[in-house]
Structures are given as C-alpha cells and as structure tokens.
Amino acid sequence: MRSPALTDLLRTLPEASVELVRRVLACADTRRQRVYLVGGPVRDWLMGRRLRDVDLTVELHKGEDATELAHRVSAGKLRVRVHERFGTVTLQGTGAALDLATVRREQYARDGALPTVEEGTLEEDLRRRDFSVNALAIPLSAAARARRVGIVDVTGGLEDLEARSLRILHARSFHDDPTRALRAARLAPRLGFTLSRHSRAALRAALRDGAFGAVSGDRLRREWVKLFGDAAGQGLDPARSLRLLHDWHVLGALEPGLELDGRAVTPLRRLGRALVEPPWPAGQRRVWVAGMAAWLAPLRAPLRRRVLARLAISGDQATRISEFPRRRDAWLRALERARGRGAVDLLLSGCDEESLLALHAWAPPAARRRIARWAVEDRGRRVPVTGDDLMAMGLTGPVLGRVLERLRVAWLDGSVRTREEALVLAHEISRRSRSKS
Ligand code: ATP
C-alpha cells in the first residue's frame, strides 16, 4: 500500500503538532536522516480516525543521537525532555508534544521485567512492538516523499487491520510483557477489534506460567490510568475493557478474587458517558481514581485493599478508592435527607472530584439528577457578598465563615435573591449570633 502524501497526512494531525512535525522533517532532511510516523498514529490514520498524538522514529547515522536532532529542531525554543532509559526524546511545543525515538531493539532479561534497549534497524523496531496493527510505519523523509514509497509492514499489520484483529508478534510476547494484555483490553473496544485466536492462546500460556506475578505494581497501575483515561477522553465504557480482562482470566491473575462484579457494570458505563458531557469535562487527570472506586466498590474491603497494594496505589488515592463504598452510602443517605439546593451544596462541596464522579455513577436516578444539577449549575454560582463585605461589617473569625455558609445556602435555595437582601440577612445572622454570645 502506498503512503499518503505528506500534506494529506499533516491535515489529519492535531493542528498544534503540524509545525513540530515540519520542523523535525526539515532538520532531518538536511542530514539525510530517515523519519517515520510509527505505531498508533499510522493505525489510526489508516482507519480514518482522528490522530491523537504523534510518534516519530528516526534512523540515524553512526554516532548521531535523537537528543542532538531534538536540540537542532528546538533551536533553543522548545522544551526537550530526554528519556535516557528508552532512548526517546519529547519535544514540547505550544499546545503539542511530539515523541521522537531512534530505531531500537529490545531484550527482556526475564519475563515481565522492563526491557534493555539498544540501537537496531527499523525492522527490529517494528518487530518489538505489541500488535501487528501497531507495527506499521509511514516514511516521511524527503527522498521517500518524492517516490511515494509504500507503508512499511513487516508483520502483516495491514491484513490484520482489515480483519480487525489484534495479533501479537511472537508466541512469548505476553510472557515478555504481560501489560500487553491490558493494552489489548483497552484498544479492542476502542477500535472495534478482537484479540486473535493465536494471541489468546499465547495469553493463556503466559497466565499458566505465572507471567503476571513478575510485573511491578507501578507498571500495572500506569495501564489502569490509561484504560480509564481513554474512557474519559472518548466516552467509552470502561466496563467493556474490564469484561475482556475478566473473561481472559487476567484480573484473577493480578490478584486472586479480583473480578468485574456485575453490579459495577452500569455505574462504569455511566462513568464513561458522564465524562464527555457536562458536568465533567473530558480529560480529567485523575479519572482513573473514580474508575477504580466505581469498579472495586462491590468487592469485599480486604480484597479491595489487596488490589490497591498490588497496584502500588497509596495515599489519598488509595483512601478514596478503598473508602468509597462507605462514603458513598453515607453521602446518598445524607442526600436523601437534604432539603433544598443549599443543603445539597453544603454536602457535595466537601466531596473530592474523583469520589463525586464515582458517586454520580453509582447514585439512583433522583440523587444522580441532584448531583448533576449541583455540578453543572450550583457549584459555580457565587453569592454576591464576599468575606470582605462581611469584614467591613465588623465580622471576623469563625462567625464570618458561618455567616458566609448560611448566605450561600439561602442564595442557592432562592430565599435571598439580591446583594442587598444578602447583606440584610448577614446583618440579621450576625446580630442574632452576637446576642446569643
Ligand atoms: P494510543 O492511541 O492510546 O496512544 P498507541 O498505540 O499510540 O495508542 P502508546 O502507548 O502511545 O499507544 O504507544 C506507542 C506505540 O508503542 C504503540 O503503538 C506500540 O507500537 C508501542 N508500544 C507501546 N506499549 C508497548 C508495549 N507494552 N509493548 C510493545 N510495544 C508497545
């Protein structure tokens, strides 16, 4: 298959990335260094999907490295971040980043460990990848553009793309890197692909050989962050990925007893949908905490804690996830008792964003509507009286806080509608609290 013309390709890139790509190509062309678009963006371009990020790989001459190329591209104007261990460099422009890698091969000292990386050829670079549809490359250099050379496909990726199949590139791929199973579960529903039969068999073998036990909690957690993050960006249902991992027996291999409990399915679907529409904008940074909380809620508390330990989740995030079921029940009971929008505000403003998302996902319809209305309409509303106004009235300390709180409740309930009415109420409350003390 012939490569697309560069202008057609650039048109499908995020606008902010186009300039970065042009600069890399200009610099690489002057030294006859060959540049390729590789991996996910090629797959997405072939499927006619919007490209989300740009991964470029360069073939350098002996003695050259990607950092040197990145600095030439940047000319002191862009941020250059070097990732020594993987031989990659990130170029940060305004509103866009671009990953630049050199062609490399990888070796796995033992199953599940991070690979050692060394210089290689383009073919080796493509063969080290997870699935054939992610092992395609489009040559972008001037010489290749002039000849419109074909898409590089050394693993049969184009055929698998046609067949909508995720196929690993060698039988021990999941042994080398079991996190590829999590990638498969993330990509399959997003792309509408299935894991090939041969890959399923290889996954079963890796599970049988205990390969998942060797993967660090950090690496596993990063995959969960991406899985829930993907849902956030695209309105996908994270339960579909979890269902695959459940059916493939991967969840139980991560922690005995871990599963997708049927009760979490609808809340998870709701979570995916809520993220692309108001009240929660897409791209929530810590949406994975909400996803984990919603997913693990029906499981027994000791199992939930073991899962958190296995995925090396600690601190606030762990507390939010492990305590979610108890807090959810308390919040829902309080919501049922809350009379008026002011009371709902008082309750929900104390709730962190991640727990709020999970709460919305789990709440029965009436409570869900109240949470959504608060998130969309009420939480951003400001009372037309400030702390400074109250200080000017001589209020200080805890009384001031209490008055502000009462004013806010009255404002959201609609019993106070103007700044003047709010000031009158403030006077009244402070007079009453003075006469009490
Ligand atoms: P997305 O569209 O979600 O960014 P992607 O396929 O671009 O998907 P990245 O995580 O950005 O995924 O990885 C870039 C490329 O690196 C992939 O397309 C794949 O070729 C390769 N890759 C990533 N993770 C692995 C892995 N664990 N094993 C082998 N290759 C991998």
pTM of the model: 0.89
Domain edge (last residue) among 160, 176, 193: 160
Ligand 1 atom 24 nearest Cα: 130
Task: Identify whether the C-beta of residue 57 lies closer than 8 Å to the C-beta of residue 101.
Answer: yes
Do residue 231 and residue 365 come from a single domain?
A: yes
C-beta neighbour count of 306 within 10 angstroms: 16
Ligand 1, closest atom to CA 230? Answer: 3
Lookup: tokens for 92: 């940060």
Regarding the beta carbon of 52 and ligand 1, being less than 6 Å apart is answered yes
Do residue 287 and residue 410 come from a single domain?
A: no
Confirm whether 233 is domain-assigned.
yes
DSSP state of 264: G
User: For residues 364 and 239, what is the distance between their CA atoms, to the nearest angstrom?
Assistant: 19
Task: Identify whether the C-beta of residue 263 lies closer than 8 Å to the C-beta of residue 298.
Answer: yes
Ligand 1, closest atom to CA 41? Answer: 7
Domain edge (last residue) among 381, 399, 426: 381
Q: Taking Cα atoms as reference points, which of 286, 248, 240 lies closest to residue 266?
A: 240
Confirm whether 171 is domain-assigned.
no
C-beta neighbour count of 221 within 10 angstroms: 18
Ligand 1 atom 12 nearest Cα: 40
Task: Identify whether the C-beta of residue 172 lies closer than 8 Å to the C-beta of residue 112.
Answer: no
Domain edge (last residue) among 358, 381, 404: 381
DSSP state of 117: E
Confirm whether 172 is domain-assigned.
no
Q: For residue 215, how far is the Cα from the chain centroid? A: 20
Do residue 290 and residue 401 come from a single domain?
A: no
User: For residues 86 and 115, what is the distance between their CA atoms, to the nearest angstrom?
Assistant: 9
Regarding the beta carbon of 129 and ligand 1, being less than 6 Å apart is answered yes
What is the extent of the structural domain holding 361?
Answer: 217-381
Distance 40 CA to ligand 1 centre (A): 6
Residue that is written with structure tokens 């290689």 in the block: 120
Do residue 229 and residue 368 come from a single domain?
A: yes
Task: Identify whether the C-beta of residue 41 lies closer than 8 Å to the C-beta of residue 54.
Answer: yes
Do residue 397 and residue 368 come from a single domain?
A: no
Ligand 1 atom 28 nearest Cα: 130
Average pLDDT over residues 369-377: 91
Distance 134 CA to ligand 1 centre (A): 7
Question: Looking at residue 88, which CATH number applies to its domain?
Answer: 3.30.460.10
Do residue 427 and residue 299 come from a single domain?
A: no
Percent of the chain with pLDDT over 70: 97
Residue 236 has pLDDT above 60, yes or no: yes
Question: Looking at residue 221, which CATH number applies to its domain?
Answer: 1.10.3090.10
Distance 167 CA to ligand 1 centre (A): 14
Task: Identify whether the C-beta of residue 294 lies closer than 8 Å to the C-beta of residue 362.
Answer: yes
Confirm whether 206 is domain-assigned.
no
Ligand 1, closest atom to CA 226? Answer: 3
> Do the bridges between strand 194-195 and strand 165-166 make them parallel or antiparallel, or are there none, so unpaired?
parallel
pLDDT tens column, 74-91: 888 889 998 877 778 999
Distance 373 CA to ligand 1 centre (A): 38
Regarding the beta carbon of 130 and ligand 1, being less than 6 Å apart is answered yes
pLDDT tens column, 127-171: 999 999 999 999 998 888 777 778 999 999 999 999 999 999 999
Confirm whether 87 is domain-assigned.
yes
- Alpha-carbon radius of gyration of the chain: 27
Ligand 1, closest atom to CA 53? Answer: 4
Regarding the beta carbon of 87 and ligand 1, being less than 6 Å apart is answered no
Task: Identify whether the C-beta of residue 144 lies closer than 8 Å to the C-beta of residue 160.
Answer: no
Residue 402 has pLDDT above 50, yes or no: yes
Do residue 18 and residue 141 come from a single domain?
A: yes
Q: How confident is the model at residue 232 (pLDDT cuts 50, 70, 90)?
A: confident
Alpha-helical regions (H) of 31-111: 40-46, 66-74
Do residue 369 and residue 423 come from a single domain?
A: no
Alpha-helical regions (H) of 130-196: 142-147, 157-163, 173-176, 179-191
Q: For residue 310, how far is the Cα from the chain centroid? A: 20
Residue 437 has pLDDT above 70, yes or no: no
Do residue 10 and residue 148 come from a single domain?
A: yes
Do residue 59 and residue 156 come from a single domain?
A: yes
Q: How confident is the model at residue 279 (pLDDT cuts 50, 70, 90)?
A: low
Ligand 1, closest atom to CA 186? Answer: 3
Distance 135 CA to ligand 1 centre (A): 9
Confirm whether 185 is domain-assigned.
no
Q: How confident is the model at residue 282 (pLDDT cuts 50, 70, 90)?
A: very low
Task: Indicate the number of domains in the chain.
Answer: 3
Confirm whether 225 is domain-assigned.
yes
pLDDT tens column, 421-432: 999 998 888 888
Regarding the beta carbon of 180 and ligand 1, being less than 6 Å apart is answered yes
Residue 286 has pLDDT above 90, yes or no: no
Do residue 353 and residue 412 come from a single domain?
A: no
Do residue 315 and residue 351 come from a single domain?
A: yes
Regarding the beta carbon of 173 and ligand 1, being less than 6 Å apart is answered no
Confirm whether 357 is domain-assigned.
yes
Q: Please enumerate in sequence order all residues whose Cβ is within 8 A of that of 300, keeping only pairs 6 or more positions apart, or say none.
A: none
